[in-house]
Amino acid sequence: MSKENKAAKIKTILFQIFSWIFGVFFILGGVIYLFDGIIGGSMVLLGALLLLPPVFKQVHIRIPKLQGWLSALIAAILIIGGVSILPEADSEPEIAGVQDSSQVEELNNDDEENTEKEDVEKADALAEEERLRKEKIAEEVRIKEEQQIQEKERLEEEAKQAEEEKKKAEAESEKNKLKEERSNFDSNKGNVYVAATTIELIESMSGDANADMYMRLDASESSVDEYNDGGSEEEFLKRVSSANLFIVIDSTEWSYTPDSSKKDLAVTALKAVKKIYPDSIARVSINNEFREVATAEYGFWSGEPKVELK
């Protein structure tokens, strides 16, 4: 073997060794660069493949004009070009990373602000809920107190009505009792019940139990009807205009009675009438079974008893 052939063979072996080393190295780099940039990584990977002897051999077979140095030049251009564009391809991710960091920070700030805002809103909502709860409790207490007051007023009103009805029933019962009582009296003693019941009192005050007496109370018809229907006796007596006592005495006894005793009888009877009916005009008339024999009344000016014997 000549010295030139031996040198060429050594040169070929060295070329293949370096081709394998650089090819494998840049293949690994191309694979890694693919994650940083597809274009740059692909160019590096393609240039690295061209450096591998098997690939170079297949390319040379298909393209005979492609010499070894030309193939190496193309591979170098691809690798250098791919590597050169990697920073440009990666600049956007870096910027995007910066932007993403800013956005993340902004998002974190927004999240904090939103969290604080949510906490404030939650606190406000809880405070509003507590206020509404207290207002509801206060309203329930107020309604309950109003109901208690209304119930108390209702019970008091019912008790008042019951008391009024009781008094009304008692008054009605008393009125009916008086009405029945005042309808049963001796009409020979007086024109109304109260007149007839006072005769015994006048007889005891006059001291003469043998005389027949009759009391007539003059009042309006409506006053008499109201009294007979159970009305107030006190009110009726205030409306009596005159109280007239009629005494019938035995004619023989009257004829033997001295005039002074006759006058004393008339005055005593007149005072008795005035005492019982102080607001009325009192009159006394004495009859001896045949005619009126004496009258007694109070003088208009003097106010003293005035007796007239006939």
Q: Is residue 133 part of a domain?
A: no
Q: What is the spatial distance between Cα 51 and Cα 236, in angstroms, rounded to a whole number? A: 150
Q: What is the mean pLDDT of residues 37-47?
A: 74
Summarised one tens digit per residue, pLDDT across range 216-269 is: 999 999 999 998 888 888 899 899 999 999 999 888 888 898 999 999 989 988
Final residue of a domain: which of 105, 123, 140?
105
Any domain includes 64 = yes
Using the 3D structure, point to which of 105, 124, 157 is the last residue of a domain. Answer: 105
Residues in Cβ contact with 216 at an 8 Å cutoff, skipping those fewer than 6 apart: 190, 191, 195, 243, 244, 246
Query: Does 208 score more than 70 pLDDT?
Result: no
Number of folded domains in the chain? 2
* pLDDT value at residue 91: 45
Give the amino acid at 46.
L
The number of residues making up the chain comes to 310
Q: What 3 state SS string does the chain have?
A: CCHHHHHHHHHHHHHHHHHHHHHHHHHHHHHHHHHHCHHHHHHHHHHHHHHCHHHHHHHHHHCCCCCHHHHHHHHHHHHHHHHHHHHHHHHHHHHHHHHHHHHHHHHHHHHHHHHHHHHHHHHHHHHHHHHHHHHHHHHHHHHHHHHHHHHHHHHHHHHHHHHHHHHHHHHHHHHHHHHHHHHCCCCCCECCHHHHHCHHHHHHHHCCCCCEEEEEEECCHHHHHHHHCCCCHHHHHHHCCEEEEEEECCHHHHHCCCHHHHHHHHHHHHHHHHHHCCCCEEEEEEECCCCEEEEEEECCCCCCEEEEEC
Q: State whether 200 and 303 are in the same domain.
A: yes
Sequence letter at residue 20:
W
Q: Does 77 reside within a domain? A: yes
Claim to verify: residue 100 and residue 198 sit in the same structural domain: no
Any domain includes 222: yes
Q: What is the CATH number of the domain that holds 288?
A: 3.30.300
In a domain, 227, yes or no: yes
Global model pTM greater than 0.75: no
- The domain boundary, picked from 73, 105, 137, lies at 105
What is the extent of the structural domain holding 88? 3-105
pLDDT tens profile 48-77 = 777 677 776 776 667 766 666 666 777 777
User: What is the structure's pLDDT at 104?
Assistant: 60
Indicate whether 224 belongs to any domain.
yes
Token pair belonging to 229? 């229907």
In a domain, 50, yes or no: yes
Most confident of 42-46, 61-65, 303-307: 303-307
| Same domain for 297 and 198 | yes
- Say if 173 falls within a structural domain: no
